[in-house]
Amino acid sequence: MGKFPVADKALLEIWICKDCSARNPKGAEKCRKCNSKHLRPKRARKKEVKGK
């Protein structure tokens, strides 16, 4: 993750469509591009361990 926790939180509060991979706002119930209801939350990357 980056230096700014506020920015990281905003980037992770989006939903990704499983059908077309479009980004949707956090309150979305269906995709803005294909109108599919198959949405998932954006996955957070784990921090990398330095030195290994």
Q: Each residue of 1-52: pLDDT tens digit?
A: 678 889 888 888 999 999 999 999 999 999 999 999 999 999 987 766 676 6
Tokens representing residue 25 in the block: 């706002």
The predicted structure's pLDDT at residue 45: 76
Q: Is residue 22 part of a domain?
A: yes
Q: Are strands 23-24 and 39-41 parallel, antiparallel or unpaired?
A: unpaired
- Closest by CA to 33, choosing from 48, 18, 49, is 18
The predicted structure's pLDDT at residue 1: 64
The predicted structure's pLDDT at residue 49: 66
Residues of the domain holding 27? 5-41
User: How many domains in the chain?
Assistant: 1
The predicted structure's pLDDT at residue 51: 67
Q: Is residue 13 part of a domain?
A: yes
Q: Is residue 32 part of a domain?
A: yes
